[in-house]
Structure 1
C-alpha cells in the first residue's frame, strides 16, 4: 500500500492447515478422517461415497448437510454439474499464462539478499517475475509466462541454456541472486491459472459449495484464501438470521455472496494485466504517486482501489471494485487531459478527483438503469 501500517502477509498454506486442524481436533463434535477421497454424491439423500487411498475400500457417509470446500477441482461441484436437473451454470476461463515457483535463497548467515519489506515486480509487458519474502531470509520467486504464445513462453524454454539466456536478457538482476535457477526451473512444476465461476452454489438446502469450489480465482490480488474464509463469515450471518431454515440460509447466502465472488475474480484479472504491463507505464506511475500522497495526507477522505479491497473488510468486493475502478478512471482521465496541474495544491487535486469520480459513478448508475 505504500504505508508502514498497511501491509499484507503471505503465510504458509500447509502451516495454516495445521493450525486449523489442531483447532478442529480440540472440538468434541468433530471427527477427522484422513486418506479418503470423495468419489460421488447423492444429493437427494445427502450421502457421499469416499474411497480409502490405501485399501481402495469404498465407504458411504450419510449427513444432514454437505459442505463442499474441496477446492478448484471440487468433486462436489462436478457432481452438481453432471446432474443436469440441477441446471448448474459453470465456466472455467484459463489464462494464456502459466507460472513456476523459483527461489532467491538467504545469504549464508540467513539474511535477505534484497529489500524484504516489499513485493518485488519485474514487469515485462506480456510476462513478469515477482518475489515475496519468507521468514527464513529467502524469497519465493514466481515467473508468470505465456504457456505457448508470444516470443517467450514455457514451451520454448526446454534447455538450461535457453533458460539462462532468457533470464539474463529479461531479469539479469534477479538471475544474479538465483544460483539454483536452472535446477529449480526443470524440477518444479509449471502450473496453470484459471477463474472458475458457477451458480447456483446449493442443492435443495442440503448441499452447499464454498471457497474455491464455488469461485476459484487467479492469485494476483492476494485475496483467494481471504475470499474463501470470508464466505464462512457471511454464511454464519445467515445461519444466525434464519435459525435452522437451511434452504433459505443457503439461498440468501449464495445470492449475496455470488456478486462479491465475481467481483474479486474480475479484480484479480485486472491486477494481472496491471502488474505485468502498467506498472512500467509513466502515466500509471504518476497515478500511483498521486494516490500514495492522497492516502498519506487525507487517509479519511481517500482510499485507492487496492486499499478499498485489501484494508477495508467492511466494504464488499463488489462495492470496492465499483468505487476503485471509477477512481482509477478519474485520475487517469485528469492526468491524460493535463487537468491535475503542478501549480495546484494536493487538496485541490483530491477535490477534482472526487468530483470526477462522482460523475463517472453517476453515469455508470444511469447506464445500468436504462
Structure 2
C-alpha cells in the first residue's frame, strides 16, 4: 500500500513536490489556505514574476515541465545597469546565451504546476487553513473559509506553506525549533511599466527592435543608487514589474519619509527621472500597493522525527537579491523526493538526512543573497568591482577548470551553494591580491595570474554532478 503524505501549502514548492512524490508512488493530499487560482484567479500580494535559473530548471526537467515553463518565460541575459547620468550598459550573467536566467510569472507557473500535480494523482483541497496539529497522535485540524474546523489523520506531514508557515508555528509550539528571523531593515514596493503600446512613442527604447517592450526585454534592469535601488523584470505581455527597495525607517530616503505618492513622485523625479515617465499609473501603484518586508529565516531544526518536515521558504526564507528563493525551494524538492523514494518507510532518517544535506546550502545562499543586495545597489557601478569582474572573466577564459565567477556557480551549475560560497570567497581574495587596489584589469599580467590561480586553488569539481 502506498505511503500517504500530507502536504500543507499548494504554492510553487508544494505543488512541485507533490507532483514528484506522486510520480514516485506516494499518495499525496495537499491542503492550501487560498482558493484554487485556476478558478478564483491568482491572488497576488507577492512579486508577480520570479527569476528561474538552472537549479529550478533542473527540477522542472525532472518533472517533465521545463519546456512548458520556458515557453511562458522571458530570457534575461544580464543586468542592464542605469547610472545617475542616464547611461546604461549590460553586464552579462554568463559567458553567452547558454547562460541566462528567465523571468517567469508566479501565477502562471503555479497553475501549470497544479495541473501537473493533479495529472500525477495528487488531490488538492483549497480554502483549507491549518489550525493546529497533534504530531504525537498523527492528526491535524483544518478550517475552511467559513471557519468550520475538522480533523484528519496525517501521520506524515510536510510544510511547504511559505515564510509565514502555519505548520512551522504548530511544530514550534510542540517542540521549539530554534527559530531566528533577521529583518533586513529594508523593504520594497512594486510598481508597473506597461507595454510599449500604451506609452508615448518618444519614451520607448526601440534600439533593440522590441516594439512590445518599453525597455530592452532580455535583461534585468537595475537603477543602483548606493543604499537603495529600483529593479525591473520583464513580463511576457510586454510590461515590466518595477520594485523599489529602500530602508524601511530612518532618514530620507526611506519608506517612512515617502509615505504617499506625492512625496514619492518628487523622489523619483530626482533619483529615477528616466523611470518615472514609464509608470503612467504611478500614484495608484504607489498608494495602492503595500510595502513588503524583507527578512531571513533560520531554524536549528527543520523536522520532528519522521512526523513533520519543513521545506522551501517554510524552512529557510531568504531575501530576493540573488533570485534564488524559488530555485532553492525547487532544489529541495529534487533532493527530498529522491531520498523518500530511496527509503519510503523511513521518514525519520529521510527527514534528518534532508536537513543534513540542505541546511548548509540554505545558509550559504542566505548569506550570498544578502551580499548581492549590496552588490546590486552599490557595487555594480563601482570601478574596483568592475575591474574585479573583468579580471575574473579573463581568468575564466584562461583557466576555466580553476576559475568560475561565484554568480555563475550559483546560477548556472548544480554545485552546492555552500561550495560556491566558500570557493567564491577564496577567488575574491585572489582577485584582490592580483589587482592590488587597481581599477584596471589590464594592468595584471594574465599569464602570471593564471599560473598563480592554478597553484593556489584546486580544479573545480563536476559542475553538473
Give the paired residue count: 353
- C-alpha displacement at 1:63, in angstroms? 1.9
Q: Does 1:113 align with 2:220?
A: no
Distance, in Å, in 2 between the alignment partners of 1:322 and 1:111 is 42
Q: Does 1:235 align with 2:336?
A: yes
Please identify, of 239-248 and 94-103, the stretch whose mean Cα deviation from structure 2 is larger. Answer: 239-248
Q: What is the TM-score when the length of structure 1 is the normalising length?
A: 0.89
Tell whether the 8 Å contact from 2:402 to 2:454 is kept in structure 1 after alignment.
Answer: no
Q: Does 1:90 align with 2:161?
A: no
Distance, in Å, in 2 between the alignment partners of 1:266 and 1:325 is 12
Q: Does 1:329 align with 2:418?
A: no
Q: Does 1:103 align with 2:203?
A: no
- For residues 163-222 of structure 1, the C-alpha deviation after alignment (integer angstroms, 9 at most, x for no partner) is 121111111112232222222111111100000111211112111111111000110111
Counterpart in the other structure of 1:320: 420
Distance, in Å, in 2 between the alignment partners of 1:56 and 1:307 is 48
Tell whether the 8 Å contact from 1:334 to 1:340 is kept in structure 2 after alignment.
Answer: no
Distance, in Å, in 2 between the alignment partners of 1:273 and 1:163 is 23
CA RMSD in angstroms comes to: 2.1
Q: Which runs of 5+ in 1 are unaligned?
A: 359-370
Written as runs of structure 1 = structure 2, the 5 A alignment for 1:115-194 is: 115-194=216-295
SS for the counterpart of 1:155 is coil
Q: Does 1:56 align with 2:156?
A: no
Counterpart in the other structure of 1:307: 408
Tell whether the 8 Å contact from 1:234 to 1:253 is kept in structure 2 after alignment.
Answer: yes
Tell whether the 8 Å contact from 1:50 to 1:59 is kept in structure 2 after alignment.
Answer: yes
Counterpart of 1:254 (choices 348, 355, 372) is 355
Counterpart in the other structure of 1:264: 365
Distance, in Å, in 2 between the alignment partners of 1:343 and 1:152 is 38
- C-alpha displacement at 1:354, in angstroms? 4.8
Please identify, of 190-199 and 56-65, the stretch whose mean Cα deviation from structure 2 is larger. Answer: 56-65
Distance, in Å, in 1 between the alignment partners of 2:273 and 2:440 is 37
Counterpart in the other structure of 1:70: 161
Q: Does 1:21 align with 2:114?
A: yes
- C-alpha displacement at 1:24, in angstroms? 1.7
Bigger helix fraction: 1
Tell whether the 8 Å contact from 1:112 to 1:137 is kept in structure 2 after alignment.
Answer: yes
Tell whether the 8 Å contact from 1:106 to 1:112 is kept in structure 2 after alignment.
Answer: yes
Tell whether the 8 Å contact from 2:183 to 2:294 is kept in structure 1 after alignment.
Answer: yes
- C-alpha displacement at 1:345, in angstroms? 5.0
Higher RCO (C-alpha 8 Å, min separation 6): 2
The verdict on how the C-alpha distance between 1:340 and 1:97 changes in structure 2, with shifts beyond 3 A counting, is closer
The verdict on how the C-alpha distance between 1:56 and 1:276 changes in structure 2, with shifts beyond 3 A counting, is same
SS for the counterpart of 1:9 is strand
- C-alpha displacement at 1:161, in angstroms? 3.2
Counterpart of 1:285 (choices 351, 367, 386) is 386
Counterpart in the other structure of 1:6: 99
Tell whether the 8 Å contact from 1:37 to 1:51 is kept in structure 2 after alignment.
Answer: yes
Tell whether the 8 Å contact from 1:95 to 1:194 is kept in structure 2 after alignment.
Answer: yes
SS for the counterpart of 2:407 is helix
Counterpart of 1:38 (choices 127, 130, 139) is 130
- C-alpha displacement at 1:115, in angstroms? 1.6
Q: Which runs of 4+ in 1 moved over 6 A?
A: none
Tell whether the 8 Å contact from 1:340 to 1:349 is kept in structure 2 after alignment.
Answer: no
